[in-house]
Amino acid sequence: MRLIPAIYVKPYVKRGKSDAVDAAAICEAVTHPTMRFVAIKSAEQQGVLFLHRARDLIVRQRTQLSNMLRGLLGEFGIVIAQGIGSAIKFAKSVLDGDKSGIPEVATDVLGNLSNQLVALHLRVRWYEMRLRLQAKQDPRVTLLRSVPGVGPVTASAIVATAGDASQFKNGREFAAWPGLTPLNRSSGGKEKLGRITKMGDRYIRRLLVTGMTSRLRQMKTHPERVDPWSRALLERKPTRLATVAVANKTARIIRAVLGKNEYDRPHRI
């Protein structure tokens, strides 16, 4: 059995939409020599992705609620510092009895929203703890955690989605899977590379970019933890561009680690 992404089958559909037309398009697509296929996931992988999808939903709800609190309280001149930690700290102070000087009619609403925010935060912590326990059971996750900037959540998501990454021929194909490779607009023999494609698994891309952002921030407090390649890149490129470039390089290293089934060597990039 082979799985083909629907977006790759669509160009083979001649006209209209019916079961017969779709079946003919699939048959034509599967015989194409350069067709790309998706690795079939096991039930265990699907279960781990179940955890990731649920955690991602709760994280987004927590962010929406904290932003709503900031907007509502801003109307009364109350400013909550950036970061989810500041929002949680403020919500806990409200639950402890701090009325924050807002009208009485809004006090109950503020307490209700604060209680909901704290509950969502505790639920996120539960999902993260569950993912950490699950990650310890897979040796491939342990291998990926040797890569700088790759934590248990990122490693678990990659293993649950890509498995051993055997469907990717090389590191560039693996980096292109979450959309971290530059968009190629070359023509007439002239090489022209643009921004990253952002085509692929956006969840994996977000985890990798977030991890590399945290890693490069360590330059301020622990410059010895950042390798010379990343440090030189950050000195000559904007911060966000350097972060994405390091994420691209890290994706290639992840492919090598999974393919060779070996730990990453320190200061490899």
Q: Which of 79, 113, 111, 82 is nearest to 98 (CA)?
A: 111
Half-sphere exposure of 201 (CA within 13 A, CB side): 22
- Residue 167 has what pLDDT? 87
d(CA 165, CA 210): 21
d(CA 103, CA 105): 5
**Is residue 266 very low, low, confident or very high in pLDDT (cuts 50, 70, 90)?**
low
Average pLDDT (194-200) is 85
Task: Judge contact between 131 and 49, C-beta under 8 A.
Answer: no
Check pLDDT > 60 for residue 138. Answer: yes
- Residue 23 has what pLDDT? 92
Q: Under 8 Å CB-to-CB from 95, ≥6 apart: which residues?
A: 111, 114, 115, 118
Average pLDDT (196-213) is 92
- Residue 268 has what pLDDT? 47
Q: List, for residues 170-180, the tens digit of each pLDDT value.
A: 999 999 999 99
- Residue 269 has what pLDDT? 44
CA distances from 113 to 15, 152, 156, 167 (A): 51, 30, 32, 46
**Is residue 161 very low, low, confident or very high in pLDDT (cuts 50, 70, 90)?**
very high
Q: Under 8 Å CB-to-CB from 149, ≥6 apart: which residues?
A: 208, 211, 212, 214, 215, 246, 250
- Residue 206 has what pLDDT? 95
Q: List, for residues 46-67, the tens digit of each pLDDT value.
A: 999 999 999 999 999 999 999 9
Give the residues across from 190 on adjacent strands: 187
Average pLDDT (137-154) is 92
Domain range summary for the chain, segments of one domain joined by +: 1-38, 43-135, 139-260
Q: List, for residues 71-119, the tens digit of each pLDDT value.
A: 999 998 999 999 999 999 999 999 998 877 788 888 889 999 999 999 9
d(CA 269, CA 215): 13
Residue 182 has which token pair?
């530059």
Q: List, for residues 231-260, the tens digit of each pLDDT value.
A: 888 888 898 899 999 999 999 999 999 999
- Residue 56 has what pLDDT? 96
Residue 117 has which token pair?
């925010």
The helix/strand count (H/E) of the chain reads as: 11, 2
- Residue 43 has what pLDDT? 92
Q: List, for residues 4-30, the tens digit of each pLDDT value.
A: 888 889 899 988 889 999 999 999 999
**Is residue 267 very low, low, confident or very high in pLDDT (cuts 50, 70, 90)?**
low
